Amino acid sequence: QVQLVESGGGSVQAGGSLRLSCTYTDSSYCMAWFRQAPGKEREGVAVIYRADGRTNYADSVKGRFTISQDSAKNTLHLQMNSLQPEDTAMYYCAGDNWAFTCASGLTPGGSKGFRRWGQGTQVTVSS
């Protein structure tokens, strides 16, 4: 059974940094980070095409967040810098095997295309 396990969440003050990690047991073509704040829809943060390393980011995190992969360790990372209170959310790692899933992952409702999910890790940013 495919498993995705996130770690690295926590509480930081505004302007701080966190690095999330996601270990996986499969070889999804596309992997991504999503987040969901209380009362809000799940939104795409960043996606990566594992074959060639292409990445895309939500406008709200461009220049602050970096998605990367360590294929040798089957680990996905999300480096988050200059964190702001509006970044507070549960962060989820997700994977799927279709290029279209990556292409649409950051659009509204894009999470629906991903079939593999981790349990989430909480990120809280205080002002």
Q: What is the pLDDT of residues 11-35, one digit of tens each?
A: 999 999 999 999 998 778 899 999 9
- What is the average per-residue pLDDT within 67-85? 95
pLDDT of residue 25: 87
- Average pLDDT of the segment spanning 50-78: 95
Predicted confidence (pLDDT) per residue in 33-46, tens digit: 999 999 999 999 99
**How, if at all, do strands 10-13 and 121-126 pair?**
parallel
Per DSSP, what are the bridge partners of residue 21? 7, 77
Mean pLDDT over the full length of the chain: 94
| Structure confidence at residue 98 as a pLDDT band (50, 70, 90) | confident
Instruction: Produce one character per residue of 44-77: b if its CB has 16 or more CB atoms within 10 Å, e if not.
Output: bbbbbbbeeeebbbbeebeeebebebeeeeebbb
